[in-house]
Amino acid sequence: MKKLALIIAATALAFSAPTAFAADHEGCEHGSMGSGHGEHAMMSAGKAAHEEVVDGVKATFTVIDIQQKMKEMGMKETHHIMVMFTDAKTGKMMSRGEAKIKVVGPDQSEQVKDLMGMEGGFGSDFTLVKKGKYGVMCKFKLADGKVRAAKFRYTVK
């Protein structure tokens, strides 16, 4: 329980100031997120790493480098991955449901985590210490009960 409290605290600290990160935009639509569609502190802490529409749901992923804050607390996680879901037609937030992310590193190591609901989105902390391309796969089931999936590549430089 103490570790969970530290992770949540570190994540909150990481979102208090913008951080830079390197993203590989393979298969990513470029464009703005649009104002008034659920942006919050987490999404403003970094640029969208990937946006994708899956069966009427827009999934917007943000990857935030939290390595320094986590290191100060003696923790190994280096990046926070956040995803927000909106109705692709109306832009309305879709924050009820569950999501899971699998990250495959450049060395083929895998991390799988259930994402925690936070401020209208879902997120968790991951360890991305090796330079290179990571595969990020997200499976999610929102209030409509339909299982969807999105994936993208993220580059750590």
DSSP three-state, residue 133: strand
More confident residue, 22 or 2: 2
pLDDT tens sequence across 81-97: 999 999 999 999 999 99
Average pLDDT over residues 21-42: 34
Domain encompassing residue 91? 2-156
Cβ neighbours of residue 135 under 8 Å, at least 6 residues apart? 103, 104, 151, 153
Burial degree of 85 (CB within 10 A; 0-12, 13-18, 19+): buried
Pull the structure tokens for residue 85. Answer: 């879901």
Contact (Cβ atoms closer than 8 angstroms) between residue 114 and residue 18: no
Identity of the residue numbered 143: A
Q: What is the CATH number of the domain that holds 47?
A: 2.60.40.3340
Average pLDDT over residues 78-83: 96
Q: Which residue has the tokens 């609901």?
A: 117
Q: How far is CA 142 from CA 62, 67, 114, in A?
A: 19, 30, 14
Number of domains in the chain: 1
Q: Which of 7-11, 31-35, 47-51, 108-112 has the lowest mean pLDDT?
A: 31-35
> What was the pLDDT predicted at 102?
98
DSSP 23-70: ---TTPPPS---TTSS--HHHHTS-EEEEEEETTEEEEEEEEE-HHHH
Question: pTM value?
Answer: 0.73
pLDDT tens sequence across 94-122: 999 999 999 999 999 999 999 999 888 99
Instruction: Kindly state the helix (H) or strand (E) to which residue 10 belongs, with its residue range.
Output: helix 2-14
Among 115, 107, 98, 126, residue whose Cα is nearest residue 21: 126
Q: How confident is the model at residue 26 (pLDDT cuts 50, 70, 90)?
A: very low
Q: Indicate the average pLDDT of the chain.
A: 79
